[in-house]
Structure 1
Amino acid sequence: MITGKMIVVTGGSRGVGFGLVQQFLRRDNVVIATTRDTTRAHELQKLAETAGGKLIVHELDTSEVSSIKHWSNDLKEDVPHVDVLINNAGVFGRRLGFLELEAEDFLKTFTTNTVGPFLVSQELYRQGLLGGERGQSLVVNISSVMSSHGDQAKDNSGGGAYAYRASKAALNIINKAMATDLHQHGITSVLIHPGYVATDMTDYKGHISVQESTEGIMAVLESGKMLNDRFFSFRGEELPW
């Protein structure tokens, strides 16, 4: 069980991110949850008020380089080490057809879903907060089966979602490179598909609840399986990508 650790969850104010914040708190961890706008993260703030100091809410926009750098500098002043980093913050983007998509749709989606997780991981490593002499760290990059060209599950049926699919596929290869470069420095990097979850990102049309998804994710992370450079679904199945 993951307990007594320092956890960072980006995009922790809603959906799967908020569910993971709750899961880690139940296991007696200290959780730093980030959100783009702390004044609008009402449920997260309410949870922090009842968490006995175990939940700290930070403002972070993972699509802005300056925001990531400022946040990581502040974090270093308050936290000696991050045991688990959940790169969860992400966007789906505009739901447009093949002929309607524009370059800007790809750029905005990639900035948040691909570049953001990389820069957050990079900055925490640069600040000495991941791996190293202070202990092992686990980096969990929330991907999607929609990024896979080898999986034909119902969650990956159909076409469309070009920018989202491409941004998560790019995140997958970033995870692979991180798994190769950073494992020797005490950092494990794993990809997780949370499932097609009923959240605002999916217009609440998902097949599973946030609770089912996050319980499954925690089971994978606590399974004792070799995680580095692997891609798992919330059900524990290893996915091709």
Structure 2
Amino acid sequence: MATITGKTCIVTGGTRGIGRGLVERLLDRGNKVVATGRAAAAAAAALEPLAARHPRGLVVSELDAADEGSVEKWAEALKAQHGIEHVDVLINNAGIYSPDGRRPALDEFRQADFLPVFATNAVGPFLVTQQLLRRGLLGAPGGPSTVVNVSSIMGSHGDTTISAVTPGAFSYRASKAALNIMTKTLANDFEREGRRIQCVLVHPGYVKTDMTGGAGYVEVGESADGILKLLEDGRPLNGRWWSFSGEEIPW
């Protein structure tokens, strides 16, 4: 796709970590950016410095991607309250590793350790995309759109470097694998139907964020810059899975 400037962009989970890094860079490029957080007041407080720098560019909105009612209410408010008529770039970034911060071993897993992770990481991006589509905010007739779903190499069954040697993380891995196949299916369906919507997966790297407890080997800025670069450099996007560093990830 062309350089992302002067566009309308959405970043879910945009108050911290990778999401915040993407919000900041998109604002600096002159885009209008809708950044979401699960609680409106907390999101506004977290993004106050960016709002001060970009008073006309940043829209902060409340969205719990794991709650269908919240997604519907949020999508409706984009048009009714914020005047959004078309979304050029949707980045489904909101995600969790576990519902309570635990990293359970195999014999400790319960059903409750799986369902909230699936609801947030896999079902959430689907619902966000669906609700924007229902309101005519993605693709034709408003113009082309790109849906970017933030996955993880840990959802790959073909990778031999990280996912093959990292133990456990059953719910997180499974949720990202589910996101991957839904993204591929959406990409195929949209292309078949001529909707002018591309769907692409990105692996942001092992980024030093709150989710990782500060562990990792990639800084937030490096990840955000890499994601935007691969979206802009002309490579094929629809139905593909790319690392922030430019390499294609095996399914």
Q: TM-score range by the shorter chain?
A: over 0.9
Q: C-alpha separation between the residues in 2 aligned to 1:76 and 1:47? A: 23
Q: CA deviation at 1:230?
A: 0.2
Match of 1:25 among 15, 24, 27: 27
Q: How many residues align?
A: 241
Q: C-alpha separation between the residues in 2 aligned to 1:136 and 1:124? A: 14
Q: TM-score w.r.t. structure 2 length?
A: 0.94
Q: Following superposition, which runs of at least 4 residues in structure 1 exceed 3 angstroms of deviation?
A: none
Unaligned runs of 5+ in 1: none
Aligned-residue Cα RMSD (Å) equals 1.0
Match of 1:217 among 216, 223, 227: 227
Secondary structure of the residue aligned to 2:108 is coil
Instruction: Tell me what 1:162 maps to.
Output: 170
Match of 2:63 among 48, 60, 65: 60
Instruction: Tell me what 2:8 maps to.
Output: 6
Q: CA deviation at 1:232?
A: 0.2
Is contact 2:154-2:173 (8 Å) kept? yes
Is contact 2:154-2:162 (8 Å) kept? no
Q: CA deviation at 1:45?
A: 2.3
Q: C-alpha separation between the residues in 2 aligned to 1:195 and 1:155? A: 12
Q: TM-score w.r.t. structure 1 length?
A: 0.98
Match of 2:149 among 141, 144, 147: 141
Is contact 1:220-1:234 (8 Å) kept? yes
Paired AA for residue 21 in structure 2: G
Q: C-alpha separation between the residues in 2 aligned to 1:97 and 1:163? A: 11
1:188 correspondence with 2:191:
no
Q: CA deviation at 1:155?
A: 6.3
1:37 correspondence with 2:39:
yes
Q: CA deviation at 1:153?
A: 2.1
Secondary structure of the residue aligned to 2:181 is helix
Paired AA for residue 35 in structure 2: A
1:125 correspondence with 2:127:
no
Paired AA for residue 214 in structure 1: A
Secondary structure of the residue aligned to 2:242 is strand
Secondary structure of the residue aligned to 1:132 is coil
Paired AA for residue 65 in structure 2: T
Q: C-alpha separation between the residues in 1 aligned to 2:146 and 2:130? A: 13
Paired AA for residue 56 in structure 1: V
**What does residue range 67-78 of structure 1 map to in structure 2 within 5 Å?**
67-77=70-80, 78=83
Percent of matched pairs sharing the same residue: 51
Return closer, same or farther for 1:95/1:27 CA change in 2, 3 Å cut-off: same
Q: CA deviation at 1:233?
A: 0.2
